[in-house]
Amino acid sequence: MKRPQAAKRQPGRRSAAESRGTRERLLAAAEKHFAQHGYSGTSIRDLGSVSGIASSSVLYHVGSKRKLYAFVLQRIADSLSNVLHHIEDGSGADMMRQFAERMMSWSELHPDYVRILVHEMMENPDRLGEVHRWLLASFMQDALGLSARATARQSRNKVDADMVLMLILGAVINFHISLPTFMVLRGVADRLELKRRFMDTLDQLLRTALLSPQKDIGSESNAGTRAPS
């Protein structure tokens, strides 16, 4: 008995696997190009050239530069989804230290994503608000919720939860931006040592701002100097 022959693919038509592969190549090229040149400095022709694909094929697979950019931003949002998972409950400073460590790890794993976000914040804040509002809203809302819980546990002056989150996000991003220049100016070659010092300093700042009632320095000092009864 003869086996039925598989349907032959028509000449010029790509298989689903080939289309997925082409789309992945385009997304990878787009991430690199958007990171280096920003949104305005990237064209469909550029992406086709570095991918070895005709401009018309680029548009066929992704629709437009704007849609391609949205795909890249969605990948950024997806990569951030695990940053807030399973942060252990503890003092406000401990919780935000965990968040800072995870943001640092994320930024080291995805340096192009960091550059893309920096390009947007510096070059086109209007588009940043327009596009990121629906792509990164979930992550930002969850991060703000974490910061609100952490700051609610401190016993000293009222601390602004929004600004604590902004401080951590800005500090981690600027660490990567300023690190090469700082290493040259200070003559330091050990990047890991600078990272350790940076995270320790950030931890000290968080602990100063987010002292819990059990760790209030003033209370501990008074307890230690109280006259015996």
Q: What is the pLDDT of residue 202?
A: 94
pLDDT of residue 28 exceeding 50: yes
Look-up: residue for tokens 């509002």? 133
Helix ranges restricted to H, 110-160: 111-123, 125-135, 137-151
172-189 confidence digits (pLDDT tens): 999 998 999 989 998 888
Mean pLDDT over all residues of the chain? 81
Domains of the chain: 16-73 (1.10.10.60), 81-213 (1.10.357)
Better-scored residue on pLDDT, 41 or 4: 41
The vertex-144 CA angle with 84 and 103, nearest 5°, equals 40
Give the end-to-end CA distance of the chain in Å, rounded to a whole number: 102
pLDDT for res 228: 46
pLDDT at 197: 94
> pTM here?
0.76
pLDDT-based confidence at residue 31 (cuts at 50, 70, 90):
very high
Q: Which tokens go with 163?
A: 């600004």
Q: How far apart are alpha carbons 68 and 51 in whole angstroms?
A: 14
Q: Residue 168 contacts by C-beta under 8 Å, 6 or more apart in sequence?
A: 96, 99, 100, 103, 202
CB 206 within 8 A of CB 85: no
pLDDT of 216: 43
Buried b / exposed e along 33-68 (16+ C-beta atoms within 10 A): bbbeebbeebebebbbeebebeeeebeebbeebeeb
CA distance 91 to 220: 16
Q: What is the per-residue pLDDT across 187-227, written as a single tens digit (0 to 9) for each?
A: 888 999 999 999 999 999 998 888 755 444 444 444 444 44
Residue 139 scores a pLDDT above 80: yes
Task: Write down the pLDDT at residue 5.
Answer: 55
Q: Exposed, middle or buried, 141 (CB in 10 Å: 0-12/13-18/19+)?
A: exposed
